[in-house]
Structure 1
């Protein structure tokens, strides 16, 4: 589903126009981004939990050359899928 399709479906579910759906989607996206980038987590009921995790500094290998080098510590965004969604997908 593309962003345009998502907005159209959201507008239909909400019973409103696409402008209101765009505002709602942008507000949700902004809230999630702000919370997760600040180190928090967001739980979307029935969908899952989005959170930020620290990855420590580690040794990695370039598969093309075999050269090993140290990769700096970094933050990565993770998502744990809710059991309700897993069950719905499995049937």
Structure 2
């Protein structure tokens, strides 16, 4: 499902226009990015949890040359599926 299909589905299920559904989806994305960027976890019970995780500095290897290199510490995002999402994925 792409964004326009998601917006159409949201609009149909919630009884709002597609423009309003698109606006809400955009706002949700903005809030999610802002919260995770500041280190806050976003929890939607039963669906998912999105949180910022820290990756430690480590030594890597260039697969082409075999040369070792240092990979700097960084941050990433981690999405954990909730029970409803896991059940849907397993076909239940």
Fold conserved between structures, TM > 0.5: yes
Equivalent-residue separation in structure 2 for 1:19 and 1:36 (angstroms): 26
Instruction: Quote the residue 2:24 is aligned against.
Output: 24
Runs of 4+, deviation exceeding 4 Å: none
The answer for unaligned runs of 5 or more in structure 1 is: none
Equivalent-residue separation in structure 1 for 2:46 and 2:26 (angstroms): 20
The correspondence of residues 1-91 of structure 1 with structure 2, limited to 5 A, is 1-90=1-90, 91=92
Equivalent-residue separation in structure 2 for 1:86 and 1:31 (angstroms): 24
Once the two structures are superposed, what CA deviation does each residue of 1:1-25 show, in whole Å capped at 9, x if it has no partner? 0111011111111111111001110
